[in-house]
Amino acid sequence: MATRIYFPSNIPAFCSPAFHAEWDLTGQAQRKECWPQKQNSGFVNNGPWSYTTGSPKDGLAYQFISPPLLAQTITGTVKGQFRTSEFASDDICGAVVIKVVSADGTVLRGVLLAHFPNSLVSPYSGSFVNRSFPPLSALTDVACQEGDRLVFELGSRSFAASGSYNNGKIEIGDNSANDLPEDETATNQYCPWIEFSADLQWQGFAQGDALGSMAAYESSPGVRADALGVLAAYSLIPDVGWVQANAAGVLVAYGVNPPTVTRRVFPVPNRIMRYQTQWGKRTFPVSYWE
């Protein structure tokens, strides 16, 4: 099963990984979160102005950071679609870097894709038009550890003559029921995306299924309707701890490594109740005195 990633416009990034070395211009890059579900954010665009003194020149517009992954090896292919535009005839096309970093963004695990075309392919138009971004590409396998994050760096490569100003714009946001199609002709303002052929595995966070429950979580804090009709509160960072609604309708609070001294007693004890205890287990009532 493939994994599609969306690029909301209004959620600040978890961390600030170093930019890939290929980018010539990074001063106007914006850091944000990306998600495997739509967050219904408005459509915006960004394209840093650059003065080229040589060709090609690479300008970074966005760096997106994902929620934490489970340990796995990411392999297969990737493809994407974004609407783009350019100012005048800047001879600009898309450039993309996809990599894996540690949870805090300080350690680079590996680069899955560095797409910087050698010639002008799929050039931007003077108005916003759909572009393959990136085109279907094979990934370099990267083994990631639990808690690692994906990083997507989206920018533009200019092949304009030296001594000219360039401005390539890339549109992000996910406030549409429709996704951009796989073509380079559509002009509709639909959701951009990048899709892995692999079924990526994520560390615990809520996914909006179809049963009608309400979940509150921290992502920068938000509320999401889940699928069972159960209210669940939790954090995207499991070691902080979270509350999860189990299948039997029981609300359970826990962390990854809960303290061994933690005990919960239910019902509330009273003087006529006695308990049975097993090592490492919760105390529970077994009978009442006559």
- pLDDT of 9 over the 80 cut: yes
Gap between the Cα atoms of 227 and 254, Å rounded: 21
Strands 284-288 and 129-132: unpaired
Task: State residue 253 phi and psi, 5-degree precision.
Answer: -105, 135
Gap between the Cα atoms of 31 and 269, Å rounded: 52
Q: Measured between alpha carbons, how far is residue 204 from residues 14, 145, 168 in Å?
A: 16, 14, 37
All domains in the chain, ordered by first residue: 3-196 (2.60.120), 214-276 (no CATH)
How does pLDDT run across 193-204, given as a tens digit for each residue? 999 999 999 997
Q: Measured between alpha carbons, how far is residue 31 from residues 56, 119, 258 in Å?
A: 24, 28, 33
Confidence of residue 282 (pLDDT cuts 50, 70, 90): low
- pLDDT of 237 over the 60 cut: no
- pLDDT of 136 over the 70 cut: yes
pTM of the shown model:
0.72
Q: Are 15 and 104 in contact (CB under 8 A)?
A: yes
Q: Amino acid letter at 37?
A: Q
How does pLDDT run across 176-226, given as a tens digit for each residue? 999 999 999 999 999 999 999 999 999 975 544 444 544 444 443 344 444
Nearest to 172 by CA among 34, 14, 17, 37: 34
Gap between the Cα atoms of 105 and 147, Å rounded: 10
Gap between the Cα atoms of 232 and 223, Å rounded: 10
